[in-house]
Structure 1
Amino acid sequence: MTNSLKNRVIIVCVGLVLLTTVVSLFSFWWSTSQFNEKKVTQDINVAENVYKQYLTAKESLLLTAAKVLTSDFGFKQAVATRDADTISSVLYNHSQRINAELMLLLDLSGKLISSNKPNQEFSNDLEQMMNELLTNAEQSNFVVLDNDLYQVILLPVRAPRTIAYSLVGFKITDEVATELKNLTNMDVSFIAEQDELVRSSLLSRPSPFSPNDYFYQATTSRIFGEQVIYRNRNLHLASLEGHSVNVLLSADLTQSYTEFERLFFTIILLAALTIVIGVVASSLLANNLTMPLSQLANLARQFARGNYSVDSMSNKQSNEIKTLIDAFRNMGNDINEREQQISFAAKHDTLTGFYNRSAMLEVLNDSLAENQEYTLVAIDIKGLRHINDKLGPRVGDDCLKAVACRIAAFSDELGGFHARIGGDEFLTVFPTSSSLNLKRGISGLMAQLEAPYTLQKLKINLRFSAGVVTYPAQGTLADDLMRRVLIAVDGAADEHENIHHYQEGEDEEHLESLLIIDELKQAIAEDDGQLFMTYQPKLNMATQKIDKAESLIRWQRKNGSWVSPELFIDLAEQSGLIVELTEWVIATVVKQVGQWQQAGIFMQAAINVSAQDIAYPGFHANLLHVLKSNSVAPALITIELTERDMIENEEKGIQALENLKAIGVKISLDDYGVGQTSLGRLKMLPIDELKLDKCFILKLDQSEKDQFIVRSTITLGHQLGFSVVAEGVETRESLEILHDLKCDHIQGYYLSRPLKADLFEQWLEQYNELA
């Protein structure tokens, strides 16, 4: 019967209850621990505030009493005449009125003249104490006099010059500490360590009693092992040099442990009872299992969120407690307000107040209704970087805010919402039908945005690209919509359009590009043969020997498909992977040249690099390292760059190329003739070779204009000291023309297509035999 439905339900129910109980216990333990930790810290902070308010009130009372005493005309007259009886009587009466245990009159040298208690003498050095107290005039200090701790204040008696000093103080006793304990619900200990004096609210204490040892080391045995009883905070009080006084606030954790254990055993008991009920009445438990589980999960979530009520604190009616409650509530309000600010900042752009990208995804998920069509428009501000560079970032920020205001003015009225999803990119979403009826749709939005802006007395015209996606026709998920609208706005920029509507298939093309980038990264890291180099020979027209080859990378994916070099190299440049790819190419080609060299084949290999490679700081050092590791002379390596690379990185590129030439590496300018290199710039470039672009060579035998261009370029190159290479030679006639024009090297399919290293070696052997 073990396979019966009843037994299966019992097993499933009991198993779920056990699993839920374990998870709930752990969640309960974790959330309660976090809550208790925060609560104890808050209680100690509150106790510290109460203690400071208490001492401030005492200090205020001392200062008032001392000023009243020192301002009394009869008292000053008695002091001036040294009327001992009157002085003693005034000190005594005044101390009784304010309940001050200490009231002394000292002469200017610090000697005791009189006190509120007859025949009172002190073993302390009153002169030194008075001198230290005078440095903090009208501020209370804690001092030890004859093994008693006082909070005192010292004021001069002037008539009108200072004729004496009045010292007024309250005694700090165990009762005072107990009073503070009643206010703060935690033990208070005043410690004068140098004077070996302790006043504490812990009345039942061991002998000898050291608060620092006792409160920090006292432990209690609980179900989870030994736990400390007290959480402490030590505060320094204003006191005399060499006689420091501290107050130790100690929160008793025993009640927290007890409450935790009581709740823990309650949950254990409830879990056991639930299991028994489940075994006895499995069908009933199966129907009602979700309720107790839901309650337990909700209880765990409440504890984890720290959702605890503090209304019970309002039962206290004393003024001090009311003040404390108000301060506590104010603190809670402040924390709540800060949390709201943090929450707002986490979801909104600080400059414009729009949603940020992550928040916009959530809003899209929650706001888009199935029965409503929406238009998503991604807006890119063209040339904002130039505004920042020329007019300053403040004007740039003003532009962003002004654009945001116009987007909001357009979209808010339609019931739409908007976000800033990039440095100069915005996204607005609005109902399609409303926008067409009220504001002419996307064209109305673009017209509103492209109207001139007046910022800081400047009239600025901004240009925009917009990408458009419609919901639900072109996507229903927020991630898909966001990705596709960004693809659309990139398409607008790439195709130089003002507005580009997303077309089916663009997303798949984008995802395929991401997949290619990811697979390319793996292919470089694993070096499993997907990537390999081919070599296209170059014929030396003067010697009719093959002494050079251009290395060309190829990629065949694991699924057998080929990826065009133009495609994956372009994606590598966009993704920043080009540096790693070039390092792999350099390592592979230099290693191959070294192997050829060992086999007696001395072949100069050309390596194509990009602008990012030249700008990379480690390019030069890496090339040197690879050459040295493979014992290859730098002269056997040629670095090929296009005109575009040279123009985009002219200053940095020229310096990098000069550094390469300094170690003996050859430099070639690839695709010459189709770029924008001027003759003046060509004269400055540190190159050794010009490569004529194949567009001039493919039909050289059929085009007289191409022949004129090639002839003049070869002549110019030779006059500037460059060798000239023609690529794309596919006919015998073109080869003969280039020979007549004294071109130095040629390469092309007429000679050979690019070959793998082993096939290149076989081809080279056959060529040399025929030659």
Structure 2
Amino acid sequence: MLTSLKHRIIALCIGLVVLTATGSLMGTWWSSSQFNERKTQEAISVAENVYTQYLQAKQRLLLTAASVLTSDFGFKQAVATRDAETIASVLYNHSQRIDAELMVLLDTSGNLISANRQDLQLPSDSRSVMRDLLSHEDDSTFIVIDKTLYQAIILPVKAPRTIAFTIVGFAITPAVAKDLRKVTGMEVSFVVETGTTKVSSMALPEGMGVLEYTNAKRVQRIMGTSPMYANASVALPALTDSAVSVILSADLKTDYAEFDKMVLTVVVLSLVTVLLGFLASGFLARNLTRPLQQLTQMAKAFAQGNYKAKVASTKPSSEICALMDAFHDMGENIQSREAQIRFAASHDSMTGFLNRSATLETLNIRLISEMPQYLIGVDIKGLRHINDKLGPRIGDECIVQVAERMQKHASDFNAEFARLGGDELLVVVEGKADWSIERYVTTLKLALEATYHIQGLELTLRFSIGALSAPEHGDNAEDLLRRTLIAADNAAQEGVNVYYYRKGEDEEYLARLQLIDELKQALSDNDGQLFMAYQPKLNFRTHQIDKVESLIRWRRSNGEWVSPEMFIDLAEQSGLIVELTQWVIDTVVGQIAAWQSKGIVMKAAINVSAQDIVDEGFLPHLQETLLKYKVPSKLVTIELTERDMIENETKGIAALNSLKALGAVVSLDDYGVGQTSLGRLKMLPIDELKLDKVFILKLNESHEDQCIVQSTISLGHQLGFSVVAEGVENQASLTLLREMGCDYAQGYYLSRPLPALEFEKWLGEYHEAG
């Protein structure tokens, strides 16, 4: 569901306010919580320091009192003589003087001699208690005696040897805890090892320990409850088997109250801010969206083609005025751009000619006229080489100047011009009574072939021109355009400057397209339409058949045979030759492997084209196929014609070197009828020469052929090549080749090309007959 801009602005403003308020609240809450926590920890730390100083002061007082007592000569004499009354009097008076609740005198065995209290009950193992107290040396120790917790210190009485020990201590009472609470501001509780609370500044319920009590106490707050106390435990020096600690409990009620008050204040302020933000955003959204609604109406008018629409606003802001002006400018720019787009959609940007789709529309309109229409297609020959050698700018300028000459030549005619492809131009002219199509084409050709001056260069361009007339050659724009291009293509194929379309050529063209489609399908389906035939080659030295030439055959699904020359030529023109050759390589290498499994070691020659040899995937595919079928590379011969080598000599030589490095045999096919010079022959990395059959078919009847073949065989051997003669038709020719020292022979006299199974049968019969 779509929402209005006004509501979105309001939602955005409120959202920002809420987000800011929430962020502030969360930040305040977090920072305050951290502050309170640090404050509580600092207070506990201060309380610990205060308590530590308190204990140290008490300890110093105990040490001083005990030292005074044990140094008193009269006290020592009383102890030495075991004067009970004097000892008791001294202990009592001394405890009153320093407010010590514990004054005990023990003999060296830990037995009680005297105490300031008559009812004092020492632990049964007083000797071990005494030893434990002595281990703390001059430090005070917390000890429970007669159910009372004392901070006590023990010192020896020496005269001069140790004759007794005196224990002086202060009782830890609720009054002490309350005094500490006043100093530290925290509740103070003393807890022994069993968890029993001995003394506390708090009024604890009967039977409940301090930790149990403080953990149970909670405070009601705005968002639930929180613990009332934060506790910290400080271990006190005590006897080994009787741990004592002090629990400091900080009361958090006041902190909670202040914090909750602050949070409530922030919440109220946030709500007020949200309310003000809502009111302000509503006002802003209304003032902003009103002119935008008017601009929306203006845009709708633009969409209907009314680019003169205006917006009337009573109090527009400077930004709205600028936006309105921009809308008016946009309307004018859209008008201009629409005209450019319409032109670009139907015209070529470089020449200004119509494009293909616009040409079809225009041609259909012209065909309505009763006047004849001449269609002349112009293809610039060698434009690709101009782009490669002189650069694309020169090539583009060639196209532009050719287009200008075409327009200038047709200035007196009712003509339309089109650019159908990179170098394909078209002119459609209305026929005149005194202008035949031949006359028009001739004058156009002369105009176009004059020298071109481009960026300081003088260029002479050549053209392939195809022409036809309507309605003689068709009454449909699609057909006429296709047939014009067919005529221009035929001019290029036949090497003539001008070609006039003849009826029926379109059907031949469509038939070729259909063959190409069927060839693609046959390669894709691999349904047996395509198969390999193998023509044996006789090894004159061994008199054995150890090599074959692999020849592809195609029998269409309707049973019709297609000439290899035809479909291989179509494959080269359509770019299918690489895929077709890969299929051949896979099939032949697979057949070699199949023969090996039957004990037949047979070399096979594979014919490849110029496109194959320079294709980057050719060599890797051959190598992968050999590895796939585990076939040695020496069993494969790659045959190329002289024409293929001449077309791509540099890349071809590099590819042949790679083939030889792989271990394959390289053969130069159709030698003697091409253009390979002896100088080029010595540079080619080949292993074999294959004499063209034109010299072999009537070898026994032609002395000239015999001289050519004999000299070629001698030349090939001297250059290190083996020589193969193809086209052997009779025994006499075969005998002559053997006498001349030829290495291999093949031809119908030996056998026509046979499918694999038939070849195996023929090979068996041949060996039996031999």
Measured after TM superposition, the shift of residue 594 of structure 1 is 0.4
Distance 1:624 1:660 in 2: 9
> What's 2:304 paired with?
307
Given residue 404 of structure 2, which amino acid in structure 1 is its aligned partner? C
| SS of alignment partner, residue 766 of structure 1 | helix
State the alpha-carbon separation in 1 of the partners of residues 300 and 535 from structure 2: 71
Alpha-carbon deviations, 1:314-353, whole Å to 9, x = none?
4446676776544312102212322322332232222211
Aligned residue type for 1:207: L
Q: Residues 364 and 477 of structure 2 are in contact (CA less than 8 Å); yes or no, is this contact kept in structure 1?
A: yes
- 2:753 aligned counterpart, secondary structure: coil
Instruction: Report if the CA contact (8 A) 1:539-1:746 is conserved.
Output: yes
Using the TM superposition, give the Cα deviation of residue 695 of structure 1 relative to its aligned residue in structure 2, in angstroms. 0.5
**TM-score, with structure 2 as normaliser:** 0.60
SS at match of 1:417: strand
CA distance in 1 between counterparts of 2:301 and 2:615 reads 49
Alignment match, 2:337: 338
Query: 1:424: how far off?
Result: 2.1
Supply the distance in 2 between the matched residues of 1:324 and 1:381 (Cα, whole angstroms): 52
Q: 2:696 & 2:669 partners in 1: Cα distance? A: 14
Aligned: 1:408 with 2:476: no
Question: Do structure 1's residue 538 and structure 2's residue 606 form an aligned pair?
Answer: no
Offset, 1:248: 13
Q: Does 1:652 align with 2:647?
A: no
Deviation sequence 1:732-758 (CA, Å, 0-9, x none): 111111111011110000000000000
Alignment of 1:623-634 (within 5 A): 623-634=622-633
Q: How does 1:513-528 map to 2 (within 5 A)?
A: 513-528=512-527
AA partner of residue 621 (structure 2): N
Match of 1:358 in 2: 357
| Distance (whole Å) between structure 2 residues aligned to residue 344 and residue 378 of structure 1 | 22
Give yes or no for the alignment of 1:614 onto 2:613. Answer: yes
Aligned to 1:68: none
Q: Distance in 2 between matches of 1:612 and 1:508?
A: 28
CA displacement 1:384-426 (0-9 Å, x = unmatched): 3444455444333332222111111222431110012222221
CA–CA distance in 1 between the matches of 2:438 and 2:311? Answer: 56
Residues 324 and 633 of structure 1: is their aligned pair in 2 closer, same or farther, counting only changes over 3 Å?
closer
Give, in angstroms, the shift of residue 601 of structure 1: 0.5
Shift of 1:521: 0.6
The one-letter code matched in structure 2 to 1:521 is K
1:305: Cα distance to partner? 11
Counterpart in the other structure of 1:207:
275
Q: Is the 8 A contact 2:437 2:469 kept in 1?
A: no
Could you tell me how far apart the structure 2 residues matched to 1:536 and 1:306 are? 74
Partner of 1:347: 346
Q: Does 1:443 align with 2:442?
A: yes
C-alpha deviation, 1:654, in angstroms: 1.4
Specify whether residues 650 and 484 from structure 1 end up closer, same or farther in structure 2 by C-alpha distance, changes over 3 A only: same
Contact 2:431/2:437 (<8 A) preserved: no
Match of 1:426 in 2: 425
Following superposition of structure 1 onto structure 2, how do residues 357-376 of structure 1 map, counting pairs within 5 Å? 357-376=356-375
Q: Which residue of structure 1 lines up, in the alignment, with residue 758 of structure 2?
A: 759
Q: What is the 5 A alignment of 1:38-117?
A: none
Q: Aligned partners of 2:438 and 2:528: how far apart in 1? A: 58
Q: Within 5 A, what are the aligned runs for 1:219-238?
A: none
User: Is the 2:307–2:331 contact (alpha carbons within 8 Å) kept by the matching residues of 1?
Assistant: no
- 8 Å contact kept, 1:314–1:322: no
For residues 621 and 680 of structure 1, the distance between their equivalents in structure 2, rounded to whole angstroms, comes to: 31
Q: 1:590·1:630 contact (CA, 8 Å) conserved in 2?
A: yes
Which residue number corresponds to residue 640 of structure 1? 639
- Map 1:83-482 → 2, pairs under 5 A: 207=275, 209=277, 306-307=303-304, 313-316=310-313, 324-433=323-432, 436=435, 440-482=439-481
In structure 2, relative to structure 1, the CA distance for the partners of 1:505 and 1:390 (3 Å cut) is same
Residues 418 and 427 of structure 2 are in contact (CA less than 8 Å); yes or no, is this contact kept in structure 1? Answer: yes
Give yes or no for contact 1:403–1:449 (8 Å, CA) kept in 2: yes
Q: Report if aligned partners of 2:301, 2:307 keep a CA contact under 8 Å in 1.
A: no
**Deviation of 1:255 (Å):** 9.2
Matched residue type, 1:374: Q
Q: Distance in 1 between matches of 2:504 and 2:279?
A: 76
Paired positions, count: 505
Conserved 8 A contact 1:411-1:429: no
Alpha-carbon spacing, 1:40–1:499, altered in 2? closer, same or farther (3 Å): farther
Give the residue type in structure 2 aligned to 1:346: A
Answer yes or no: is the 8 Å Cα contact 1:414–1:435 preserved in 2.
Answer: no
**Counterpart residue identity of residue 482, structure 1:** L
Q: Residue 426 of structure 2 aligns to a residue in which SS?
A: strand
Partner Cα distance (2:613, 2:485) in 1: 30
Q: Give distance in 2, aligned partners of 1:522 and 1:500.
A: 33
Which residue of 2 is the match for residue 152 of structure 1? Answer: none
- Find the counterpart in structure 2 of residue 26 from structure 1: none
Q: For 1:605-754, what aligned pairs fall within 5 Å after superposition?
A: 605-754=604-753
In 2, the alpha carbon distance for the partners of 1:454 and 1:603 equals 61
Distance 1:312 1:673, change over 3 A: closer
Q: Structure 1 residues 567, 210: CA separation in 2 closer, same or farther (over 3 Å shift)?
A: farther
When residues 40 and 542 of structure 1 are mapped into structure 2, their CA distance, relative to the original with a 3 A threshold, is: farther
Instruction: Supply the distance in 1 between the matched residues of 2:385 and 2:617 (Cα, whole angstroms).
Output: 30
C-alpha separation in 2, matches of 1:456 and 1:755 = 60
Partner of 1:591: 590
CA distance in structure 1 between the partners assigned to 2:5 and 2:462 by the alignment: 58
Residues 374 and 437 in structure 2, CA contact (< 8 A), matched pair in contact too: no
**462 and 312 in structure 1: CA distance in 2 versus 1, 3 angstrom threshold:** closer
| Alpha-carbon distance in structure 2 between the residues aligned to 1:308 and 1:485 | 40
Instruction: Judge conservation of contact 1:316–1:322 (CA < 8 Å) in 2.
Output: no
Give the direction of change, closer, same or farther, for the CA distance of 1:540–1:492 in structure 2 (3 Å limit).
Answer: same
Q: Which has the larger radius of gyration?
A: 2
When residues 619 and 372 of structure 1 are mapped into structure 2, their CA distance, relative to the original with a 3 A threshold, is: same
Does the 8 Å CA contact 2:291/2:313 hold for their aligned counterparts? no
Aligned to 1:76: none
Alpha-carbon separation, structure 1, partners of 2:292 and 2:326:
26
Alpha-carbon spacing, 1:454–1:434, altered in 2? closer, same or farther (3 Å): farther
List per-residue Cα deviations over 1:171-230 (Å, max 9, x = no partner).
Answer: xxxxxxxxxxxxxxxxxxxxxxxx99x9xxxxx996375899x99xxxxxxxxxxxxxxx
C-alpha distance 466-254 of structure 1, shift in aligned 2 (>3 A): closer
* Alignment match, 1:108: none
Q: Which residue of 1 aligns with 2:124?
A: none
Separation in structure 1 between the aligned mates of residue 544 and residue 591 of structure 2, nearest angstrom: 20
CA contact (8 A) 2:291 2:316 kept: no
Change (3 A) 1:648 1:433: same
Distance in structure 1 (CA, Å) of the matches to 2:360 and 2:564: 36
Question: TM-score with structure 1 length normalisation?
Answer: 0.60
User: In 2, distance between residues paired with 1:653 and 1:392?
Assistant: 25
The CA deviation at 1:620 is 1.2
Q: Is the 8 A contact 1:439 1:445 kept in 2?
A: no
In structure 2, C-alpha distance between the alignment counterparts of 1:401 and 1:254, rounded to whole Å: 48
Q: Per-residue displacement from partner, 1:270-293 (whole Å, max 9, x unpaired)?
A: xxxxxxxxxxxxxxxxxxxxxxxx
Instruction: State how far apart, in whole Å, the 1-side matches of 2:330 and 2:481 are.
Output: 40
Aligned identity (percent) is 55
Is the contact between residue 347 and residue 354 of structure 2 (CA under 8 Å) also seen in structure 1?
yes
What's the CA shift string for 1:454-485, capped at 9, x where partnerless?
34454433322211011111012121111111
Alpha-carbon displacement from aligned partner over 1:626-671 (angstroms, at most 9, x marks no partner) = 1111111111111111111112122211121111211211111111
Note the residue ranges of structure 2 that are not aligned, 5 or more in a row.
Answer: 10-265
Task: Name whichever of 345-354 and 667-676 sits farther off.
Answer: 345-354
Letter in 2 for 1:307: Q
Find the counterpart in structure 1 of residue 123 from structure 2: none
Paired position in structure 2 for 1:9: none
User: Structure 1 residues 205 and 313 mapped into 2: Cα distance closer, same or farther (>3 Å)?
Assistant: farther
How far apart in 2 are the matches of 1:744 and 1:602? 18
Separation in structure 1 between the aligned mates of residue 301 and residue 487 of structure 2, nearest angstrom: 43
State the alpha-carbon separation in 2 of the partners of residues 546 and 554 from structure 1. Answer: 22
* SS of 2:587 mapped into structure 1: helix
Equivalent residue for 1:69? none
User: 2:485 & 2:302 partners in 1: Cα distance?
Assistant: 37
